[in-house]
Amino acid sequence: MPHVTSSVIVLRVIEHGDYDKIITCFTHKTGKISLIAKGAKKSLKRFSGVLELFSVLNLVWSFGRGRGLPVIQEASLVHAFEQIRTNITKTAYASYWSELVYAWMEQGQKQVSVYKLLEYALDQLNSGGLAEHPLHISFQLRFMALTGFKPGLDYCHICRKPLERFERPAVAFDVRRGGVLCDQCAPQGARPLDLSMGTVKLLGWVLNAPLRKLNRVRFSGQAIQESLQMLEAFVPYYLGKETKSLKFLKQLDATLPH
């Protein structure tokens, strides 16, 4: 049986039968894949403390001749990210990001940039290197861009007027069109989402900055509120649903002091 070795991030763990677990991972080599860990529920030596959500692992798996899932042969822990799993807020953020990757990416679709983004976000969340709201905003923006749904923030999506020529300090964002509209093109009366010009420019910087420089970003309270409002409409619209983890995250966020 051929063997495959890759670094992976654990997205989902499901118990299977009396002894096994099914692990869905996002791999550096081959994208999303579901694997079976034989005897994982009873083996204290082979997989103990390794097959945990959000962990980065080095895995070795093999493909059989039948239609069954590939079988995990070896698993070693690279990054455990314990601070995430011991904090309900951090767990909620990591769960939402993992669910986005799980729901959006197809089996076997290699996307190294998505892998690096998720690993970066989990590392920053675990270490506190970037505050949670800016990190949450940055992950969603970058993920949408990498999957082909980059929000248009540089010009009006109807008349193509450049952002620097917009007259009003409040910029309309049209979720259906996926970008900003100038004041002349924005519908009157029931307007789309409004973002301040400062927020639009900040989001544009987040989309285009090198990943390693994202920890330099500074969001005002207004920019956080506007960005989250936009993303909570934009992401579910293109995904086609609001995920369970996003609903929980919004409920949790509403109970926290700001």
CATH number, residue 64: 2.40.50.140
Q: Read off the CATH number of the domain in which 172 is found.
A: 1.20.1440.120
Which band of pLDDT confidence, cut at 50, 70 and 90, is reported for residue 257?
low
Q: What is the pLDDT of residue 190?
A: 60
The domain boundary, picked from 44, 60, 80, lies at 80
From 45-54, 200-209, 249-258, the region with the lowest mean pLDDT: 249-258
Q: Are residues 36 and 68 in the same domain?
A: yes
pLDDT at position 64, please? 74
Q: What predicted TM-score, i.e. pTM, was given to this entire model?
A: 0.92
* Residue 6 confidence (pLDDT) above 80: yes
The span from the CA of 98 to the CA of 106, in Å, is 14
Distances (CA, A) of 89 to 143, 217, 230, 253: 20, 21, 21, 8
What's residue 251's pLDDT?
A: 86
Q: Give yes or no: residues 96 and 212 share one domain.
A: yes
Domain limits for position 70: 1-80
Mean pLDDT of 230-258: 85
Task: Name the band, by pLDDT with cuts 50, 70 and 90, for residue 3.
Answer: confident
- What is the pLDDT, as a whole number, of residue 187? 83
Q: What is the pLDDT, as a whole number, of residue 67?
A: 78
Same domain as 174, residue 101: yes
Based on the fold, state whether residues 62 and 92 are members of the same structural domain.
no
| CB-based contact 28:7 (threshold 8 Å) | yes
The burial class, CB within 10 Å (0-12 / 13-18 / 19+), for 237 is middle
Specify whether 205 is located in the same domain as 123. Answer: yes
Residue 102 pLDDT exceeds 90: yes
Boundary-marking domain end, from 80, 107, 127: 80
Residue 152 forms beta bridges with which residues? 179
- Euclidean distance between CA atoms 41 and 174, whole angstroms: 48
- Cα of 94 vs its chain's centroid, Å: 8
Same domain, 34 and 132: no
Are residues 153 and 216 located together in one domain of the fold?
yes
Which of residues 117 and 109 earns the better pLDDT score?
A: 117
Do both 160 and 250 map to the same domain?
Answer: yes
The band of 253, judged by pLDDT with boundaries at 50, 70 and 90, is confident
pLDDT digits (tens, 9 = 90+) for 110-144: 899 999 999 999 999 999 988 999 999 999 999 99
Which of 1, 43, 51 shows the shortest CA–CA distance to 18?
A: 43
Q: How large is the average pLDDT for residues 146-157?
A: 95
User: Same domain, yes or no, for 241 and 130?
Assistant: yes
Average pLDDT, the chain: 91
Environment class of residue 204 by beta-carbon count within 10 Å: exposed (0-12), middle (13-18) or buried (19+)?
middle
Q: Which amino acid is at 184?
A: Q
**Which of 34, 35, 41, 33 minimizes the C-alpha distance to 17?**
41
User: Residue 127: what pLDDT?
Assistant: 95
Q: Which two tokens stand for residue 92?
A: 């909620």
Average pLDDT in the 154-177 region? Answer: 94
Q: How many domains does the chain have?
A: 2
Q: Which of 80, 101, 116 is the last residue of a domain?
A: 80
pLDDT of residue 113: 96
Mean pLDDT for the stretch of residues 156-162: 96
- Tens-place pLDDT, residues 21-80: 999 999 998 999 999 999 887 766 777 778 999 999 999 999 877 778 999 999 999 999
pLDDT of 157: 94
- Give the model's pLDDT for residue 17: 87
Same domain (yes/no): 71, 105: no
Say whether both 250 and 122 belong to one domain. Answer: yes
- 138 and 17 part of one domain: no
DSSP assignments along 143-188, one per residue: HHHHTT---B-SB-TTT--BGGG--SSEEEEETTTTEEE-TTTSPS
DSSP H helical segments within 128-191, as ranges?
132-146
